[in-house]
Amino acid sequence: MRKPLLALTLTLAATASFAQSPKDAVDARQGYFDLLGAQMAVLAPMAQGKTEFDAAKAQTAADNIAALAKVDIRPLFVEGTSVDDMMETHAKSEIWSNMDLFGQKLDGLHQAAAEMPAAAGSLDTLQPAVGKLGGACKSCHDEFRAK
């Protein structure tokens, strides 16, 4: 799983640098968030006690999240790709009028994600780490994601 994820992460980074159109940028950033969401779909049910804790699965998902956190997706937030400009996105136009705060929210996500591998070893450490990561996601969604 790590090699395909690494290849996809590198592809996302390349797409960020060479996105040809606003739709390419939106597609790439949605792909990035889909990857994060897929990993959270493994971790969140464990942290919530809805599925049995599996240290190996938790570690893989946590490592994947940390790898994704190393990708700077800011270049994918191209002017003209908000929900006001396109139907294919949920990005509010407030991102571009408050890019500093948006960057802080992304930094919070990246910091919380970078802490995940060390927290994946036990349910006691996983639960607060997933909560912190989920809080970072929610903080950005509340401010910058259209419903």
Q: How confident is the model at residue 1, as a pLDDT?
A: 55
CATH code where residue 55 lies: 1.20.120.10
Q: Which residues contact 16 (CB under 8 A, 6 or more apart)?
A: 25, 28, 71, 72, 73, 75, 76
* pLDDT at residue number 20: 76
Domain count, the chain: 1
Range of the domain at 58: 2-73+82-144
Instruction: Let me know the angle formed at the C-alpha of 33 by 28 and 38, rounded to the nearest 5 degrees.
Output: 125
56 phi and psi, to 5 degrees?
A: -65, -45
Flag residues of the chain having pLDDT under 70: 1-19
pTM: 0.85
Q: Measured between alpha carbons, how far is 93 from 80 in angstroms, rounded to an integer? A: 8
Per-residue pLDDT reduced to its tens digit, 95-123: 999 999 999 999 999 999 999 999 999 99
CA distance 25 to 27: 5
The pLDDT assigned to 56 comes to 98
Q: Is the dihedral of CA 37, 38, 44, 45 positive or negative?
A: positive
Return the C-alpha torsion angle 143, 98, 86, 77, nearest 10: -100
